[in-house]
Amino acid sequence: QLQLVESGGGLVQPGGSLRLACITSTSILDYYDIGWFRRAPGKSREGVSCISNDDGSTKYSDSVKGRFTISRDIAKNSVYLQMNSLRPEDTALYYCAGTKWPRYVWPDALGMEVWGEGTQVTVSS
């Protein structure tokens, strides 16, 4: 059974850093793409970043480009999201999601087939 479990969320001050982890129940190579999405209170779900297991290419939303970095560790069945220079507007529930569809187009959330339950990130002084 395919499952994704996120961890690493928490409370951090503006300007601080957090590293989120997404662990898959099977090999991350079972997915074509794995991405991070977030939903802030009162806002729609937003695609944050995505990594392709086909060629390792990465994508970022304009709001996090230059501050967040997505990476993967195939041996550990894990995908990470390093978040630096965090801002209050980054406060949200962060989800990891994966798809086996090779024609997936990021940041289409509907194309993701497996979702984790999310980890809360709160940026506040």
33 vs 17: CA distance, rounded Å: 25
Non-local (6+) Cβ contacts of 27 within 8 A are: 74, 77
Q: 11 is written with which tokens?
A: 């409370």
125 vs 122: CA distance, rounded Å: 10
Q: 56 is written with which tokens?
A: 């390792």
- Would you say 97 and 112 are in contact if contact means Cβ atoms under 8 Å apart? yes
Q: 10 is written with which tokens?
A: 């928490």
Q: Give pLDDT, residue 2.
A: 82
100 vs 34: CA distance, rounded Å: 9
Q: What is the pLDDT of residues 8-57, one digit of tens each?
A: 999 999 999 999 999 999 999 999 999 999 999 899 999 999 999 989 99
Side chain identity, residue 2: L
27 closest CA partner among 6, 48, 3: 3
Q: Give pLDDT, residue 24.
A: 95
Q: Identify the residue whose tokens are 């793409």.
A: 33
Q: Quick check: 59 pLDDT over 90?
A: yes
pLDDT, averaged across the chain: 96
